[in-house]
Structure 1
Protein backbone atom coordinates (compact mmCIF):
# COMPACT_ATOMS: atom_id res chain seq x y z
CA UNK A 1 0.00 0.00 0.00
CA UNK A 2 1.43 3.36 -1.10
CA UNK A 3 0.15 6.50 0.62
CA UNK A 4 0.87 10.04 -0.59
CA UNK A 5 0.05 12.99 1.64
CA UNK A 6 -1.40 16.09 -0.02
CA UNK A 7 -1.78 18.30 3.03
CA UNK A 8 -4.56 18.80 5.58
CA UNK A 9 -6.31 15.39 5.62
CA UNK A 10 -5.88 14.41 1.96
CA UNK A 11 -4.35 11.02 1.21
CA UNK A 12 -3.89 9.33 -2.15
CA UNK A 13 -3.83 5.56 -1.58
CA UNK A 14 -2.58 3.10 -4.21
CA UNK A 15 -2.51 -0.69 -4.28
CA UNK A 16 -2.84 -3.34 -6.96
CA UNK A 17 -3.33 -0.85 -9.77
CA UNK A 18 -6.17 0.95 -7.96
CA UNK A 19 -6.03 4.52 -6.64
CA UNK A 20 -8.41 6.35 -4.33
CA UNK A 21 -8.20 9.83 -2.85
CA UNK A 22 -9.57 10.79 0.56
CA UNK A 23 -10.73 14.33 1.39
CA UNK A 24 -9.19 16.09 -1.65
CA UNK A 25 -8.72 19.67 -0.45
CA UNK A 26 -6.10 20.68 -3.02
CA UNK A 27 -6.76 23.87 -5.01
CA UNK A 28 -7.71 25.85 -1.90
CA UNK A 29 -4.83 24.60 0.21
CA UNK A 30 -1.92 27.09 0.43
CA UNK A 31 0.51 24.24 1.18
CA UNK A 32 -0.28 22.21 -1.94
CA UNK A 33 1.28 22.66 -5.38
CA UNK A 34 -0.52 20.08 -7.49
CA UNK A 35 -2.83 20.51 -10.48
CA UNK A 36 -6.19 18.91 -9.79
CA UNK A 37 -6.28 17.85 -13.44
CA UNK A 38 -3.27 15.60 -12.78
CA UNK A 39 -5.09 13.57 -10.10
CA UNK A 40 -6.00 10.17 -11.55
CA UNK A 41 -8.09 7.95 -9.28
CA UNK A 42 -10.75 5.26 -9.26
CA UNK A 43 -12.81 6.87 -6.47
CA UNK A 44 -13.10 9.86 -4.17
CA UNK A 45 -13.85 8.98 -0.54
CA UNK A 46 -15.03 11.60 1.97
CA UNK A 47 -15.05 11.70 5.76
CA UNK A 48 -17.37 14.72 6.04
CA UNK A 49 -18.57 17.82 4.25
CA UNK A 50 -16.46 20.74 5.45
CA UNK A 51 -14.76 22.69 2.68
CA UNK A 52 -11.25 21.70 3.75
CA UNK A 53 -12.22 18.07 3.10
CA UNK A 54 -14.82 18.22 0.32
CA UNK A 55 -12.48 20.50 -1.63
CA UNK A 56 -12.07 19.44 -5.25
CA UNK A 57 -14.28 16.36 -5.00
CA UNK A 58 -16.60 17.17 -7.88
CA UNK A 59 -13.89 18.21 -10.34
CA UNK A 60 -11.84 15.09 -9.61
CA UNK A 61 -14.90 12.83 -9.92
CA UNK A 62 -15.86 14.45 -13.21
CA UNK A 63 -12.33 14.31 -14.62
CA UNK A 64 -11.98 10.63 -13.77
CA UNK A 65 -15.57 9.51 -14.35
CA UNK A 66 -15.37 7.89 -10.92
CA UNK A 67 -17.71 7.59 -7.92
CA UNK A 68 -17.84 9.79 -4.84
CA UNK A 69 -18.24 7.62 -1.74
CA UNK A 70 -19.63 9.37 1.32
CA UNK A 71 -22.24 9.34 4.06
CA UNK A 72 -25.63 9.51 2.35
CA UNK A 73 -26.44 13.20 2.90
CA UNK A 74 -22.97 14.19 1.75
CA UNK A 75 -23.26 11.94 -1.31
CA UNK A 76 -26.52 13.71 -2.18
CA UNK A 77 -24.75 17.07 -1.78
CA UNK A 78 -21.97 15.94 -4.12
CA UNK A 79 -24.61 14.93 -6.67
CA UNK A 80 -26.26 18.35 -6.36
CA UNK A 81 -22.86 19.93 -7.02
CA UNK A 82 -22.39 17.93 -10.20
CA UNK A 83 -20.97 14.51 -9.32
CA UNK A 84 -22.63 12.03 -11.68
CA UNK A 85 -21.85 8.86 -9.72
CA UNK A 86 -22.27 8.81 -5.94
CA UNK A 87 -22.46 6.04 -3.37
CA UNK A 88 -24.26 7.06 -0.18
CA UNK A 89 -23.28 4.92 2.80
CA UNK A 90 -23.61 5.36 6.56
CA UNK A 91 -21.85 4.72 9.85
CA UNK A 92 -21.09 1.06 10.49
CA UNK A 93 -21.78 0.11 6.87
CA UNK A 94 -19.26 -1.45 4.51
CA UNK A 95 -19.08 -2.14 0.79
CA UNK A 96 -16.69 -4.05 -1.41
CA UNK A 97 -15.76 -2.10 -4.52
CA UNK A 98 -13.55 -3.20 -7.41
CA UNK A 99 -10.14 -3.53 -5.75
CA UNK A 100 -10.92 -1.98 -2.37
CA UNK A 101 -13.35 -2.09 0.55
CA UNK A 102 -14.76 0.86 2.49
CA UNK A 103 -16.26 0.76 5.98
CA UNK A 104 -17.46 3.86 7.80
CA UNK A 105 -16.82 4.35 11.51
CA UNK A 106 -17.83 6.88 14.11
CA UNK A 107 -16.12 10.25 14.35
CA UNK A 108 -17.04 13.06 16.74
CA UNK A 109 -17.12 16.35 14.85
CA UNK A 110 -19.64 18.18 12.62
CA UNK A 111 -20.41 18.27 8.91
CA UNK A 112 -21.83 21.05 6.74
CA UNK A 113 -21.18 23.12 3.64
CA UNK A 114 -22.82 25.83 1.56
CA UNK A 115 -25.56 25.14 -0.98
CA UNK A 116 -27.40 27.96 -2.75
CA UNK A 117 -26.10 30.50 -0.25
CA UNK A 118 -27.20 28.51 2.80
CA UNK A 119 -25.14 26.39 5.18
CA UNK A 120 -26.61 22.90 5.05
CA UNK A 121 -26.23 19.85 7.30
CA UNK A 122 -24.44 17.02 5.52
CA UNK A 123 -24.99 14.00 7.73
CA UNK A 124 -22.77 12.54 10.39
CA UNK A 125 -18.99 12.93 10.18
CA UNK A 126 -17.12 9.66 9.83
CA UNK A 127 -13.87 7.78 9.91
CA UNK A 128 -12.91 5.37 7.15
CA UNK A 129 -11.53 1.85 7.19
CA UNK A 130 -10.06 1.38 3.71
CA UNK A 131 -8.81 -2.08 2.80
CA UNK A 132 -6.72 -2.59 -0.34
CA UNK A 133 -4.54 -5.58 -1.18
CA UNK A 134 -5.02 -7.11 2.25
CA UNK A 135 -3.88 -4.00 4.12
CA UNK A 136 -6.12 -1.61 6.05
CA UNK A 137 -5.85 2.16 6.51
CA UNK A 138 -7.88 3.80 9.25
CA UNK A 139 -8.48 7.44 8.38
CA UNK A 140 -10.00 8.88 11.54
CA UNK A 141 -11.38 11.96 9.81
CA UNK A 142 -11.85 15.08 11.89
CA UNK A 143 -12.58 13.78 15.35
CA UNK A 144 -12.26 14.30 19.04
CA UNK A 145 -10.79 11.48 21.06
CA UNK A 146 -13.48 8.94 21.92
CA UNK A 147 -13.43 5.64 23.79
CA UNK A 148 -14.71 3.48 20.94
CA UNK A 149 -11.41 4.00 19.15
CA UNK A 150 -10.32 1.12 21.39
CA UNK A 151 -13.08 -1.02 19.89
CA UNK A 152 -12.07 -0.02 16.35
CA UNK A 153 -8.53 -1.16 17.17
CA UNK A 154 -9.69 -4.42 18.73
CA UNK A 155 -12.07 -5.36 15.91
CA UNK A 156 -9.79 -4.54 12.98
CA UNK A 157 -6.25 -5.36 11.91
CA UNK A 158 -5.09 -1.81 11.14
CA UNK A 159 -1.80 -1.44 9.28
CA UNK A 160 -1.70 2.36 9.22
CA UNK A 161 -3.80 5.08 10.85
CA UNK A 162 -4.10 8.74 9.85
CA UNK A 163 -4.91 10.73 12.98
CA UNK A 164 -5.63 14.48 13.24
CA UNK A 165 -3.32 16.38 15.59
CA UNK A 166 -4.18 20.01 14.86
CA UNK A 167 -6.23 20.69 18.02
CA UNK A 168 -8.80 23.55 18.02
CA UNK A 169 -11.14 21.79 15.53
CA UNK A 170 -10.07 18.20 16.29
CA UNK A 171 -8.10 16.34 18.90
CA UNK A 172 -4.60 17.65 19.52
CA UNK A 173 -1.28 15.79 19.85
CA UNK A 174 -1.83 14.69 23.45
CA UNK A 175 -5.20 13.10 22.71
CA UNK A 176 -3.89 11.66 19.44
CA UNK A 177 -1.24 9.77 21.42
CA UNK A 178 -4.03 7.99 23.30
CA UNK A 179 -5.78 7.30 19.98
CA UNK A 180 -2.58 5.86 18.52
CA UNK A 181 -2.33 3.40 21.40
CA UNK A 182 -5.99 2.47 21.21
CA UNK A 183 -6.24 1.79 17.46
CA UNK A 184 -3.17 -0.50 17.60
CA UNK A 185 -1.98 0.45 14.12
CA UNK A 186 1.46 -0.62 12.98
CA UNK A 187 2.14 2.89 11.70
CA UNK A 188 0.71 6.36 12.41
CA UNK A 189 0.53 9.34 10.03
CA UNK A 190 -0.41 12.71 11.58
CA UNK A 191 -2.83 14.80 9.51
CA UNK A 192 -4.99 17.93 9.79
CA UNK A 193 -2.31 20.32 11.02
CA UNK A 194 -0.28 23.37 9.89
CA UNK A 195 -2.68 24.36 7.09
CA UNK A 196 -4.00 27.39 9.01
CA UNK A 197 -2.72 29.28 12.10
CA UNK A 198 -5.24 27.76 14.59
CA UNK A 199 -3.98 24.23 13.87
CA UNK A 200 -0.21 24.77 13.83
CA UNK A 201 1.58 21.77 15.35
CA UNK A 202 4.98 20.06 15.24
CA UNK A 203 4.50 16.80 13.36
CA UNK A 204 8.05 15.63 14.08
CA UNK A 205 7.57 16.19 17.82
CA UNK A 206 4.38 14.10 17.66
CA UNK A 207 6.26 11.28 15.90
CA UNK A 208 8.99 11.49 18.56
CA UNK A 209 6.32 11.15 21.26
CA UNK A 210 4.96 8.10 19.43
CA UNK A 211 8.44 6.61 19.30
CA UNK A 212 8.80 7.06 23.05
CA UNK A 213 5.75 4.82 23.42
CA UNK A 214 7.14 2.23 21.01
CA UNK A 215 4.81 3.24 18.16
CA UNK A 216 6.07 3.85 14.63
CA UNK A 217 5.03 7.06 12.92
CA UNK A 218 5.94 9.31 9.99
CA UNK A 219 5.19 13.01 9.61
CA UNK A 220 4.90 13.14 5.84
CA UNK A 221 5.70 16.37 4.03
CA UNK A 222 3.17 17.55 1.47
CA UNK A 223 3.67 15.45 -1.67
CA UNK A 224 5.71 12.83 0.17
CA UNK A 225 4.82 9.12 0.05
CA UNK A 226 5.26 6.05 2.22
CA UNK A 227 4.92 2.39 1.25
CA UNK A 228 3.75 -0.18 3.78
Structure 2
Protein backbone atom coordinates (compact mmCIF):
# COMPACT_ATOMS: atom_id res chain seq x y z
CA UNK A 1 0.00 0.00 0.00
CA UNK A 2 1.26 3.49 -0.84
CA UNK A 3 0.79 6.47 1.47
CA UNK A 4 1.36 10.07 0.43
CA UNK A 5 1.71 12.66 3.18
CA UNK A 6 0.66 16.26 2.53
CA UNK A 7 1.64 17.74 5.89
CA UNK A 8 -0.25 18.25 9.15
CA UNK A 9 -2.98 15.56 9.20
CA UNK A 10 -3.62 15.32 5.46
CA UNK A 11 -2.61 12.21 3.53
CA UNK A 12 -3.84 9.73 0.98
CA UNK A 13 -3.55 5.99 0.44
CA UNK A 14 -4.10 3.97 -2.72
CA UNK A 15 -6.14 0.80 -2.17
CA UNK A 16 -7.38 -1.38 -5.03
CA UNK A 17 -6.48 1.46 -7.42
CA UNK A 18 -8.75 3.81 -5.48
CA UNK A 19 -7.30 7.05 -4.09
CA UNK A 20 -8.49 7.63 -0.52
CA UNK A 21 -7.81 11.20 0.64
CA UNK A 22 -8.00 12.13 4.32
CA UNK A 23 -8.67 15.58 5.80
CA UNK A 24 -7.58 17.73 2.83
CA UNK A 25 -5.78 20.78 4.23
CA UNK A 26 -3.40 22.22 1.64
CA UNK A 27 -4.57 25.81 1.29
CA UNK A 28 -3.25 27.69 4.31
CA UNK A 29 -1.11 24.75 5.41
CA UNK A 30 2.46 26.00 6.01
CA UNK A 31 3.69 22.41 5.88
CA UNK A 32 2.29 21.91 2.37
CA UNK A 33 4.28 24.52 0.47
CA UNK A 34 4.76 23.48 -3.15
CA UNK A 35 1.75 21.14 -3.11
CA UNK A 36 -1.10 22.14 -5.41
CA UNK A 37 -4.52 20.97 -4.17
CA UNK A 38 -5.67 20.82 -7.78
CA UNK A 39 -3.17 17.99 -8.32
CA UNK A 40 -4.61 15.76 -5.60
CA UNK A 41 -6.46 12.67 -6.78
CA UNK A 42 -9.47 11.38 -4.87
CA UNK A 43 -12.05 8.66 -5.37
CA UNK A 44 -13.03 8.93 -1.71
CA UNK A 45 -12.46 11.71 0.82
CA UNK A 46 -12.58 10.81 4.50
CA UNK A 47 -13.15 13.58 7.03
CA UNK A 48 -12.40 13.06 10.72
CA UNK A 49 -13.88 16.37 11.91
CA UNK A 50 -14.77 19.86 10.80
CA UNK A 51 -11.91 22.12 11.84
CA UNK A 52 -10.42 24.33 9.15
CA UNK A 53 -7.06 22.59 9.33
CA UNK A 54 -8.80 19.44 8.09
CA UNK A 55 -11.36 20.71 5.57
CA UNK A 56 -9.88 23.79 3.90
CA UNK A 57 -9.84 22.13 0.46
CA UNK A 58 -12.64 19.64 1.03
CA UNK A 59 -15.38 21.33 -1.00
CA UNK A 60 -13.14 22.30 -3.91
CA UNK A 61 -11.63 18.82 -4.25
CA UNK A 62 -15.00 17.10 -3.83
CA UNK A 63 -16.48 19.23 -6.60
CA UNK A 64 -13.50 18.77 -8.92
CA UNK A 65 -13.13 15.02 -8.52
CA UNK A 66 -16.68 13.90 -7.78
CA UNK A 67 -15.23 11.79 -4.97
CA UNK A 68 -17.54 10.22 -2.41
CA UNK A 69 -17.09 12.03 0.91
CA UNK A 70 -17.35 9.90 4.05
CA UNK A 71 -17.94 11.99 7.16
CA UNK A 72 -19.99 12.33 10.31
CA UNK A 73 -23.68 13.07 9.87
CA UNK A 74 -23.45 16.78 10.68
CA UNK A 75 -20.57 17.37 8.27
CA UNK A 76 -22.46 15.40 5.61
CA UNK A 77 -25.47 17.69 6.06
CA UNK A 78 -23.19 20.75 5.83
CA UNK A 79 -21.72 19.44 2.59
CA UNK A 80 -25.18 18.78 1.14
CA UNK A 81 -26.07 22.40 1.88
CA UNK A 82 -22.92 23.44 0.00
CA UNK A 83 -24.01 21.49 -3.07
CA UNK A 84 -21.93 18.33 -2.47
CA UNK A 85 -24.30 15.40 -2.99
CA UNK A 86 -21.97 12.38 -3.22
CA UNK A 87 -21.71 11.98 0.54
CA UNK A 88 -21.96 9.00 2.87
CA UNK A 89 -22.92 10.06 6.41
CA UNK A 90 -21.96 7.84 9.32
CA UNK A 91 -21.19 7.83 13.01
CA UNK A 92 -19.65 5.46 15.53
CA UNK A 93 -21.07 2.04 14.81
CA UNK A 94 -20.36 -1.13 12.86
CA UNK A 95 -18.32 -1.68 9.74
CA UNK A 96 -19.58 -0.27 6.42
CA UNK A 97 -18.47 -1.77 3.09
CA UNK A 98 -16.93 0.38 0.35
CA UNK A 99 -15.04 -0.46 -2.85
CA UNK A 100 -11.70 -0.26 -1.06
CA UNK A 101 -12.69 -2.39 1.94
CA UNK A 102 -14.64 -2.07 5.18
CA UNK A 103 -14.59 1.04 7.35
CA UNK A 104 -15.62 1.61 10.94
CA UNK A 105 -15.93 5.03 12.59
CA UNK A 106 -14.57 5.08 16.14
CA UNK A 107 -14.29 7.57 18.97
CA UNK A 108 -11.88 10.49 18.88
CA UNK A 109 -11.51 12.75 21.91
CA UNK A 110 -11.43 16.25 20.45
CA UNK A 111 -13.85 18.97 19.34
CA UNK A 112 -15.44 19.69 15.98
CA UNK A 113 -16.76 22.92 14.50
CA UNK A 114 -16.85 23.92 10.85
CA UNK A 115 -15.12 27.05 9.48
CA UNK A 116 -18.41 28.98 9.17
CA UNK A 117 -19.36 28.24 12.78
CA UNK A 118 -21.66 25.34 11.97
CA UNK A 119 -21.68 22.50 14.51
CA UNK A 120 -19.40 19.74 13.27
CA UNK A 121 -20.77 16.79 15.24
CA UNK A 122 -18.62 14.13 16.87
CA UNK A 123 -14.95 13.92 15.87
CA UNK A 124 -14.09 10.48 14.51
CA UNK A 125 -11.26 8.10 13.80
CA UNK A 126 -11.43 5.35 11.18
CA UNK A 127 -10.48 1.67 11.27
CA UNK A 128 -10.10 0.38 7.72
CA UNK A 129 -9.73 -3.29 6.74
CA UNK A 130 -8.77 -4.01 3.14
CA UNK A 131 -7.39 -6.92 1.11
CA UNK A 132 -4.11 -4.97 0.90
CA UNK A 133 -3.75 -4.32 4.63
CA UNK A 134 -5.47 -2.83 7.66
CA UNK A 135 -4.89 0.53 9.30
CA UNK A 136 -6.25 3.02 11.82
CA UNK A 137 -6.46 6.75 11.09
CA UNK A 138 -6.97 8.25 14.54
CA UNK A 139 -7.76 11.81 13.46
CA UNK A 140 -7.25 14.46 16.12
CA UNK A 141 -7.57 12.77 19.47
CA UNK A 142 -6.29 12.53 22.97
CA UNK A 143 -5.27 9.16 24.34
CA UNK A 144 -8.39 7.19 25.24
CA UNK A 145 -9.08 3.76 26.70
CA UNK A 146 -11.52 3.22 23.81
CA UNK A 147 -8.48 2.48 21.63
CA UNK A 148 -8.17 -0.87 23.40
CA UNK A 149 -11.27 -2.01 21.48
CA UNK A 150 -9.59 -1.68 18.10
CA UNK A 151 -7.70 -5.03 18.19
CA UNK A 152 -11.07 -6.76 18.56
CA UNK A 153 -11.99 -5.41 15.12
CA UNK A 154 -8.72 -5.37 13.21
CA UNK A 155 -5.16 -6.67 13.12
CA UNK A 156 -3.43 -3.46 12.11
CA UNK A 157 -0.50 -3.18 9.71
CA UNK A 158 0.04 0.48 10.58
CA UNK A 159 -1.67 3.45 12.21
CA UNK A 160 -1.65 7.22 11.87
CA UNK A 161 -1.53 8.90 15.25
CA UNK A 162 -1.25 12.60 16.18
CA UNK A 163 1.90 13.39 18.17
CA UNK A 164 2.00 17.19 18.48
CA UNK A 165 0.42 17.49 21.95
CA UNK A 166 -1.54 20.62 23.05
CA UNK A 167 -4.58 19.79 20.88
CA UNK A 168 -3.99 16.03 20.64
CA UNK A 169 -1.85 13.23 22.02
CA UNK A 170 1.84 13.79 22.61
CA UNK A 171 4.44 11.39 21.24
CA UNK A 172 4.65 9.76 24.69
CA UNK A 173 0.89 9.19 24.73
CA UNK A 174 1.04 7.88 21.16
CA UNK A 175 3.44 5.16 22.35
CA UNK A 176 0.77 4.08 24.85
CA UNK A 177 -1.87 4.28 22.11
CA UNK A 178 0.28 2.01 19.93
CA UNK A 179 0.23 -0.52 22.76
CA UNK A 180 -3.55 -0.19 23.11
CA UNK A 181 -4.12 -0.82 19.40
CA UNK A 182 -1.38 -3.51 19.21
CA UNK A 183 0.41 -1.85 16.32
CA UNK A 184 4.16 -1.27 16.10
CA UNK A 185 4.32 0.78 12.88
CA UNK A 186 3.09 4.35 13.40
CA UNK A 187 2.98 7.33 11.06
CA UNK A 188 3.03 10.57 13.02
CA UNK A 189 0.61 13.35 12.07
CA UNK A 190 -0.53 16.73 13.45
CA UNK A 191 2.86 18.04 14.51
CA UNK A 192 5.27 20.86 13.58
CA UNK A 193 2.73 22.72 11.45
CA UNK A 194 2.52 25.56 13.97
CA UNK A 195 4.77 26.60 16.83
CA UNK A 196 2.25 25.39 19.41
CA UNK A 197 2.56 21.77 18.18
CA UNK A 198 6.29 21.66 17.41
CA UNK A 199 8.12 18.59 18.63
CA UNK A 200 11.65 17.21 18.89
CA UNK A 201 11.41 14.64 16.10
CA UNK A 202 14.56 12.76 17.13
CA UNK A 203 13.32 12.48 20.72
CA UNK A 204 9.91 11.26 19.53
CA UNK A 205 11.50 8.57 17.37
CA UNK A 206 13.68 7.53 20.31
CA UNK A 207 10.59 7.06 22.49
CA UNK A 208 9.10 4.69 19.95
CA UNK A 209 12.37 2.85 19.39
CA UNK A 210 12.77 2.31 23.13
CA UNK A 211 9.28 0.75 23.15
CA UNK A 212 10.17 -1.55 20.24
CA UNK A 213 8.11 0.42 17.75
CA UNK A 214 8.76 2.43 14.60
CA UNK A 215 7.69 6.06 14.17
CA UNK A 216 7.63 7.21 10.55
CA UNK A 217 7.74 10.96 9.88
CA UNK A 218 7.64 11.39 6.08
CA UNK A 219 8.27 14.80 4.55
CA UNK A 220 5.23 16.59 3.15
CA UNK A 221 4.74 15.69 -0.50
CA UNK A 222 6.51 12.33 -0.26
CA UNK A 223 5.09 8.88 -0.95
CA UNK A 224 6.11 5.81 1.04
CA UNK A 225 5.35 2.12 0.70
CA UNK A 226 3.78 0.92 3.90
- Structure 2-normalised TM-score? 0.94
**Alpha-carbon deviations, 1:124-171, whole Å to 9, x = none?**
001011233341120111111111211213432111111101111111
2 CA distance for matches of 1:72 and 1:128?
A: 15
Aligned to 2:14: 14
> CA separation in 2, counterparts of 1:25 and 1:107?
19
SS at match of 1:96: strand
**Stretches of structure 1 lacking an aligned partner (at least 5 in a row):** none
Q: CA deviation at 1:180?
A: 1.3
- SS of corresponding position for 1:121: coil
Partner of 2:82: 81
Counterpart position of 1:62:
63
Match of 1:216 in 2: 214
What is the Cα deviation at residue 54 of structure 1? Answer: 1.3
Report how far residue 15 of structure 1 moved.
2.2
Contact persistence 1:145–1:176 (CA under 8 A): yes
- 2:122 maps to which residue? 124
Q: How many residues align?
A: 225
1:217 deviates by 2.3
Deviations along 1:46-76, one digit per CA (max 9) or x if unpaired, are 0001010112111111111111110111111
Q: CA offset at residue 224 of structure 1? A: 1.9
1:34 deviates by 1.2
SS of the residue corresponding to residue 148 of structure 1 reads helix
SS of 1:141's partner is coil
In structure 2, the residue matched to 1:207 is 205
- RMSD of aligned residue pairs (Cα, Å): 1.4
Structure 2: state its 5+ residue gaps. Answer: none
Q: Map of 1:148-159 to 2, 5 A cutoff?
A: 148-159=146-157
Given the two structures, how large is their TM-score scaled by the length of structure 1?
0.93
Kept in 2, the 8 Å contact 1:160–1:185? The answer is yes
Q: CA deviation at 1:202?
A: 2.4
* Residue from 185, 189, 192 that aligns with 1:191: 189
Q: Is the 8 A contact 1:62 1:84 kept in 2?
A: no
